[in-house]
């Protein structure tokens, strides 16, 4: 254990103890209210460039395993908890969370008053922070934090998107019976999205975020999917233009960052939330079926409801905590998108039916 400091850009700082991996790391500091699912959080590409603070006080009690990762590596810049569990217990576990974080060279800190830190972020908003185990000079840290890149205006998608196109295959794939060909634009896609689409009889071709309309049309897809991902949707204008080219021509379905990019493609605007939505307990009302689901969310930006043309776009999901936009569909074209993560299953299956909407759109399109 080594002494560690978390220094925030407004000068507020907290001391704690780092695990065996030491050094310095910086990013935007956000808090997550989930009680579990830490392995999925750590490996969610949407957290690229961010330091995650867990509000639940004890993290790591069920270890980690080889099946629950949402990508091939950990993407967070740092991980802060009140206390790490030293003795995990779960028949699926292959190692401890501490072992996993150290193997991935992630600066993980415990002993910080996470309640005080969370309250500060709620009042002041998410902000840049720096974790250090070697520099405790406040003047020095103040100068270093000025060089930390902001989440606003920067293209973080290029840091996480696939470099080459590939076709996703589930590990338990039985005899292929794919009915629909889906072009998935990878802005930081999560594995479980790919698993669910494949299980719903889709052949999923995953494209880099900079794929052209011509490259995507070569596979003659039945539908276009835009994935979740990190950062500012306004900074990935090339994806917006790609989606705009398919509006009215192919069914389009977006999740999280993909929802925001779809909003931009439809002529809307996005804005940065004060401290974002990060957790697995966000209530969302489905205005079509008049039902409420408990959803998983991870985003710092949002589509401005008032910026959308109500003659063209129908609002179908609303966040019950702050009334922000959670879902929309086009009134004329087969276009549908959601801000929350229907694949993350905190409910556990409150929102997975939303994938069926996409399947129905493709079914109608094929006719």
Residue with token string 């993560």: 341
55/32 Cα distance (integer angstroms)? 6
Told to judge if 256 belongs to the known catalytic residues of this protein, a careful annotator would answer yes
16/36 Cα distance (integer angstroms)? 22
Structure tokens at 294: 């408990």
Calculated CA dihedral for residues 332, 362, 308, 230, nearest 10 degrees: -170
Told to judge if 343 belongs to the known catalytic residues of this protein, a careful annotator would answer yes
Number of neighbouring beta carbons within 10 Å of residue 252: 27
- Going by C-alpha positions, the residue among 151, 310, 125 that lies closest to residue 234 is 151
Structure tokens at 268: 């809307």
Catalytic pick among 256, 259, 299, 302: 256
238/235 Cα distance (integer angstroms)? 9
- Cα-based distances in Å from 265 to 7, 110, 284, 365, 366: 38, 42, 24, 20, 23
Cβ(300)–Cβ(273) below 8 Å: yes
Told to judge if 282 belongs to the known catalytic residues of this protein, a careful annotator would answer no
Catalytic pick among 9, 70, 203, 343: 343
* 3-class DSSP state of 38: helix
Residues 6+ apart with CB under 8 A from 247: 265, 266, 330, 333, 335
Catalytic pick among 75, 330, 340, 341: 341
DSSP code, position 285:
E
- Going by C-alpha positions, the residue among 22, 11, 34 that lies closest to residue 114 is 34
Strands (E), 9-148: 13-18, 24-32, 50-54, 58-59, 78-80, 83-84, 108-110, 127-132
Backbone angles phi, psi at 15, to 5 degrees: -110, 145
Q: Tell me which residues are annotated as active site.
A: 256, 341, 343
């Amino acid at each position: 254990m080594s002494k560690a400091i978390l220094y925030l850009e407004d000068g507020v700082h907290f001391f704690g103890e780092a695990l065996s991996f030491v050094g310095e790391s910086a990013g935007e500091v956000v808090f997550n209210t989930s009680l579990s699912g830490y392995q999925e959080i750590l490996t969610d590409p949407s957290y690229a460039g961010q330091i995650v603070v867990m509000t639940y006080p004890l993290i790591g009690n069920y270890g980690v395993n080889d099946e629950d990762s949402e990508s091939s590596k950990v993407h967070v810049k740092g991980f802060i908890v009140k206390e790490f569990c030293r003795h995990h217990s779960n028949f699926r576990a292959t190692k401890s969370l501490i072992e996993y974080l150290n193997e991935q060279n992630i600066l993980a800190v415990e002993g910080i008053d996470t309640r005080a830190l969370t309250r500060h972020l709620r009042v002041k908003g998410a902000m840049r922070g720096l974790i250090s185990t070697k520099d405790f000079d406040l003047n020095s840290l103040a100068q270093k934090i000025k060089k930390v890149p902001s989440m606003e205006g920067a293209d973080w998608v290029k840091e996480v998107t696939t470099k080459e196109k590939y076709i996703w295959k589930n590990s338990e794939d039985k005899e292929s019976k794919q009915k629909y060909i889906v072009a998935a634009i990878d802005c930081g896609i999560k594995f479980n999205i790919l698993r669910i689409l494949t299980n719903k009889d889709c052949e999923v071709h995953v494209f880099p975020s900079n794929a052209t309309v011509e490259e995507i049309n070569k596979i003659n897809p039945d539908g276009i999917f835009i994935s979740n991902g990190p950062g500012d949707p306004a900074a990935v204008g090339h994806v917006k233009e790609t989606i705009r080219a398919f509006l009215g021509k192919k069914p389009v379905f977006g999740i999280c960052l993909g929802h925001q990019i779809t909003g931009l493609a439809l002529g809307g605007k996005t804005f940065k939330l004060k401290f974002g939505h990060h957790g697995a307990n966000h209530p969302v009302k489905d205005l079509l079926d008049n039902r409420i689901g408990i959803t998983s969310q991870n985003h710092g930006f949002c589509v401005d409801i008032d910026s959308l043309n109500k003659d063209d776009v129908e609002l179908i999901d609303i966040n019950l905590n702050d009334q922000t936009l959670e879902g929309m569909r086009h009134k004329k074209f087969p276009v549908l998108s959601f801000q929350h993560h229907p694949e993350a299953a905190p409910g556990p299956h409150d929102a997975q039916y939303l994938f069926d909407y996409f399947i129905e759109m493709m079914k109608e399109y094929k006719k």
